Amino acid sequence: MTAMTYTEYQSVQREHRAMSAADEARWVVQYAPLVKRTVRKLGSHAGGVLEADDLEQLGLMGLLEALRRYGEPDDEFEYFALVRVRGAILDELRRQDWRPRSARQGAHRLRSTERSLRRELRREPTKEEVCDALGIDHDEYDQLQLDDCAQAFVSFDALLEEGSDRYERGCDDGIEHQAMQRRSLEQALGVLDAREQQIIQLYYEFDLNQAEIGAVLGLTRARVCQINKNALAKMRKHLVQH
C-alpha cells in the first residue's frame, strides 16, 4: 500500500471539513457580529458611496468565502474570516473609487509636502510647518489627514489580504499559514513606538473606530489618523521587506 503524501492528506482533511448548506448558514449567523463590527469601523471610509446594508452584504459574502476556503471553524478561524470580510468590503470600495478626485489630489499634495519637508529638515515636520508649506489652516490640514488616512487603511488591508493569500498558497494547512501571518504581524508591531502600538491595538483588536480612539486617548480624530497612518506605513514597510 502506497503511503499518503502530505498534500493528499491535507486534501482529505479539507474534504472532511467541508460543510453542508445548513452548517454554512449556522456558522454565518454565528459570525455575523464580526461582519457588523467590521462594517461599523469601515463605514467612515465609504464616503457615502455604499450604504451600511450594502457593506454588510459584501462582508457576508466575504464570510461565506472564508468558510468555504477554511472549512469547519476552529479557534484560528475568526482572524482568517476577518481578513476576508475586510477584503471583500475594501475591494468594492477600491472598485467604486469612492473618494472624490479633490480628496485624492489633496491627500497626494499632503504626502508630497511631508516627504519634501522630511528630506529638508531631516526630521518629521510639525503640523504648523506643513500648513505653512501648503498655505492652509489647521482645519484644512485635518481634513487632508482624514482623506489620506482612508487610503492608508485600504492599502494596509490590501497588504494583509495579499499576505493571507501568500501564506495560504505556501501552506496547505490553514492553521499553519494563520500562525505564520500572526508571527509576521507581531514582528511588524515591534517596529512601532508605544503610542502607535496602542492605537493599532485599539483599532484592530478592540474594534474601536478613530473617533472612539480619540475619545479614549484625548486626541482629535485627525491626530489619531495621522499616528495610525504613520504606524501602518512602518508596518507595511516591514511586511514587504520580510
Which cell numbers in the block locate residue 174? 490553514
> For 124, which DSSP code?
P
Q: Per residue in 214-226, pLDDT tens?
A: 898 999 888 888 8
CA angle 53/55/59 to nearest 5° reads: 115
Distance CA 241, CA 235 (A): 10
CATH fold for the domain made of 140-242: Butyryl-CoA Dehydrogenase, subunit A; domain 3 (1.20.140)
Q: Name the band, by pLDDT with cuts 50, 70 and 90, for residue 90.
A: confident
For domain 18-98, give the fold.
Rna Polymerase Sigma Factor; Chain: A (1.10.1740)
Grid coordinates given for 208: 474601536
pTM score, two decimals?
Answer: 0.55
Say if residues 152 and 233 touch (Cβ distance below 8 Å): yes
The structural domains of the chain, with segments of one domain joined by +, span 18-98, 140-242
Q: CA neighbours within 13 Å on the CB side: how many for 28?
A: 18
Q: How large is the average pLDDT for residues 49-68?
A: 88
pLDDT at residue 103 greater than cutoff 80? no
In contact, 47 and 98? CB cutoff 8 Å: yes
**What pLDDT digit, counting tens, does each position of 157-215 carry?**
666 665 555 545 445 455 555 566 667 777 888 889 999 999 888 887 777 778 888 89
